Amino acid sequence: MATTNFEGYSHEQLLAMIASVNPETVKARATQLAEAATVIKEIGSALKKHQVKGWEGEAAHAFQEWVSRAGNATLLLGDYSEAGGKWMTQAAQTMIEVKANTPKYDTSAAENLDAAHKFHNDPDAQQLGRTAHTKLTADHQQAVQQLTKLAQSYEQSSAEMNKATVPTFPAPPPDFVPPIDNRHGAYLERPGAGAGPADSGAGGAAYGPSPSSPSSGAPLSASGSSPAPRSLPDAAMSPAVGLGPVVPDRGPDVELDHVATLPDKVLPLAPSLPTGPEL
């Protein structure tokens, strides 16, 4: 594990480095991460247990899968936050120990050493100088050891936090509802969807007008398409009195494969022409 070589720094420089660290701030952030991890894991567990109700079809299935995957990612986020809190707490504790165990710079010993250099012919001054040099050297070495310990703690905490899996949250499904034709406000046809009330054959037609629908003035047949033009006698153009509207032979589509809102009622189709005896 490579760390900075602090031997080349003076005792005063090493003390300035130690003075810049703030273990209380780091410890407070670590506590926040640990508390957040608990809440995040509760959310992840709730997402994993969540069951989609009152909704069926492909969109509901896609939504259920997305919720489950989001729950897994949330649980990983909780683990990630927990790991950060754990190793930041250890780093903060190392900061506290380093600040407490690093000796202060002995100004008295430094003055004695300067005096020994100045009065190098004085035997007493030389003895004081040797004692001062030993003390200053030992204090400097202790400061180097404490800074090395702090740097190693930083590296270990960083390495352990990097081992934690970074969560990747899944993107939501592209379509929770069928695509909409914004020009006409109608749901477009979906492959595999059930037929609507206006189409008893295969398809998946939905409610509302579509670009291929005939104009509102043209009558529709029971199949939903415009009848072919035909030539009729003038007398046959008036509908028979008392003839009711043609009712579709099946109810409206109630399959929950989309979230479209069904109309309040099915409008009757245009009345059929009478088919009485020839005049």
Check residue 2 and give its pLDDT.
Answer: 53
Check residue 177 and give its pLDDT.
Answer: 54
pLDDT in tens, 25-61: 999 999 999 999 999 999 999 999 999 888 888 888 8
pLDDT along the chain (279 residues), means of 10: 82 96 96 97 95 86 92 97 96 97 95 88 88 96 97 94 93 68 49 44 40 44 46 43 43 38 44 42
pTM of the model: 0.58
Query: What's the 3-state SS for the chain?
Result: CCCCCCCCCCHHHHHHHHHCCCHHHHHHHHHHHHHHHHHHHHHHHHHHHCCCCCCCCHHHHHHHHHHHHHHHHHHHHHHHHHHHHHHHHHHHHHHHHHHHHCCCCCHHHHHHHHHHHHCCCCHHHHHHHHHHHHHHHHHHHHHHHHHHHHHHHHHHHHHHHHHCCCCCCCCCCCCCCCCEECCCCEECCCCCCCCCCCCCCCCCCCCCCCCCCCCCCCCCCCCCCCCCCCCCCHHHHCCCCCCCCCCCCCCCCCCCCCCCCCCCCCCCCCCCCCCCCCC
Check residue 181 and give its pLDDT.
Answer: 54
CATH annotation of 21-101 = 1.10.287
Check residue 156 and give its pLDDT.
Answer: 94
